[in-house]
A = this chain, B = another copy of it.
């Protein structure tokens, strides 16, 4: 296993000819057909829902995983089930690992430095206790919110360096409201370009041998007009592009993100895959579309 996230990802993209990132946003009320959970005496709803979500994630990874290079669990969807939700998240991580997939924890964490260090422990590190070391989630990469500034990103970057992990910093998200703040002039360029500069400045820290950096950026696929400029500003960072499918982003317009090479971007799809009549076919369609664009 290569020691840097960017290199591990590039090898996997090359091997699988895929840049598809499977989003895991499980809703216990809308799981895959056929997910059964055995009745279990007096187990509370959260425990049963947690087991069902774990089964859903395993099934989705087994079916769709071969067309993908990564899975991206949305932490909120697990967090809302309490401790059984975190058990389900660990189960999804195990399934992803067995399927050879990158595990990208999407929690958009960000906090003051001392707390950011605790998030790094939670996501890609471990925590020393008098009873022994407690392993964190063991993610390969995670998403991070940069609003609190450079000193707040620093402990996350350090955690990635130590773990050979990657992180994707929010630069320009895919929701319509992203324009409210991230597109403000600040003062001579949009605020999201300031975020891009910050990402680029830090990108050397997680640079792989292949020239790509695991200090990546979240850039919404819903605004392709931004992608060319942001790629120029962050020539080494791997992009995570959410927003195709349900949010309206068109994969055909994402070519600029792949300028540094086929492993320079991951395209995330959640409802577009899990909610399709044939999830594996939906993932394969997206895979071939992206592979062609990225090699054009």
Contact = CB atoms under 8 A, between A and B. Distances in A.
A121 B86 contact: no
Contacts of A86: 82-83, 86
Contacts of A49: 127, 129-131, 134
Interface stretch (A8-16, A184-192, A251-259, A283-291): A184-192
Nearest to A185: B187
A170 B185 contact: no
Given A28-B127, A76-B122, A186 B191 contact: yes
Interface stretch (A112-120, A207-215, A225-233): A112-120
- Copies of this protein in the assembly total 2
Interface string A80-104: 1111101100100000000000000
Interface residues of A, number: 78
Contacts of A121: 80
A195 B186 CA distance: 13
Interface of A: 25, 28-29, 37, 44-46, 48-49, 52, 74, 76-77, 79-84, 86-87, 90, 108-116, 118-119, 121-122, 125, 127-137, 145-154, 170, 173-182, 184-187, 191, 194-195, 198, 242, 247
Closest 6 CB pairs of A and B: A149-B177, A151-B177, A149-B180, A45-B132, A76-B118, A28-B129
17 contacts: A28-B127, A46-B134, A49-B127, A76-B115, A76-B118, A77-B115, A79-B118, A80-B118, A80-B121, A80-B125, A86-B86, A108-B111, A112-B242, A145-B145, A146-B181, A181-B198, A186-B191
